[in-house]
Amino acid sequence: MTISDYYRILDLPLNSSIDEIKKAYRQKARMYHPDINPSPDAKDLFISATEAYEFLIVNFDKITNNDEAFRQAMEDWRKYRQDRSRQRARAYSQASYAKFKNTKFYRATRILDGTAIIFSLLISIIVIVYTILGYRYRLKHPLPELANPTFFTFLMLLLLGMVFFVLSLVYLKVYIEASKKRKQRPK
């Protein structure tokens, strides 16, 4: 297989980001897992999607750097594919979808995770605090060579911080609810 084949399997353009690859794999895994899809070719499609995802994630930096690194990545992948990748994909295809969703392999495809949400929440708080403190400081200590800070700029930065703060809270709520649902499901 070539790199374009792997992108084609996941229905992605060649310049896709890691997040786009993860999102596409989650969709394909849901669509093709034999536990959900009863069609006879679902297992093979699931195995192909898992293999494509694993190759693109493991070799993402190598395939975008240069041709020699790409050739080496393809050679290493051929060796790896013969051994472990296909075996793991077959094992995932034989497990129930509920068990597959709880594997580290599938959970790694989540776009939103707790640390990213908490980090964005902290950044938004920092933006709000520094906007307020910076504006107050500039009003009290104006620089003669610079114009006074405009209220419009202050308002826009404050609004930007507030929007990120609210979005972070919404994502955090969604993440917590999804975590609770995962824990409540029977194994």
Q: What is the DSSP string of 70-98?
A: HHHHHHHHHHHIIIIIHHHHHHHHHS-HH
Q: Which residue has the higher pLDDT, 7 or 95?
A: 7
For 98-107, write each residue's pLDDT tens digit: 777 777 767 6
For 60-99, write each residue's pLDDT tens digit: 777 665 667 667 777 776 666 656 666 667 677 777 777 7
Tell which phi-psi region holds residue 26, choosing left (phi > 0), alpha (psi between -120 and 50) or beta.
alpha
d(C-alpha 170, C-alpha 153), whole Å: 26
Query: Residue 139 is encoded by which pair of tokens?
Result: 């009003």
How confident is residue 182, by pLDDT bands cut at 50, 70 and 90?
A: low
d(C-alpha 155, C-alpha 158), whole Å: 5
